[in-house]
């Protein structure tokens, strides 16, 4: 599976961005797909995930109510709509995918076998 993330950029605090992640090589609908982010000098952290089975989308507390993850199975693409961005949202955003990820492991980066190259999001104050 190859993942290609795009849509990052520079935005002022309070602004919005929409990230996209296109999967190739395998239908992303067969996999759990997640967004993680990594700020300079910090560990990679969970942002949001949607399981293969669909249904509830899981969010980190820090982005709840501001970010919305969605999936378009026909386009094999997942999105992350980010609104009311804050400087602390700055980082490289990665999309990831994996199979057989149980609910309790959704937020654990090393459970995901496939990773995109990342897209930089910078929020200025």
Q: What are the Cα distances from residue 82, in Å, to 19, 40, 41, 74? A: 8, 20, 22, 22
What pLDDT does 47 receive? 98
What pLDDT does 54 receive? 67
pLDDT in tens, 2-60: 999 999 999 999 999 999 999 988 776 788 999 999 999 999 999 999 987 667 899 99
């Amino acid at each position: 599976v190859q993942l290609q993330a795009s849509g990052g950029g520079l935005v002022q605090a309070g602004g919005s961005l929409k990230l996209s992640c296109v999967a190739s090589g395998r239908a992303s609908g067969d996999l759990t797909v997640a967004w993680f982010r990594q700020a300079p000098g910090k560990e990679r952290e969970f942002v949001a995930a949607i399981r293969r089975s669909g249904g509830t989308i899981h969010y980190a507390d820090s982005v709840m109510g501001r970010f919305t993850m969605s999936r378009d199975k026909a386009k094999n693409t997942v999105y992350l709509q980010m609104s009311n961005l804050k400087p602390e949202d700055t980082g490289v955003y990665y999309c990831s995918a994996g199979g057989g990820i149980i609910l309790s492991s959704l937020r654990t980066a090393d459970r995901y076998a496939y990773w995109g190259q990342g897209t930089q999001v910078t929020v200025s104050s």
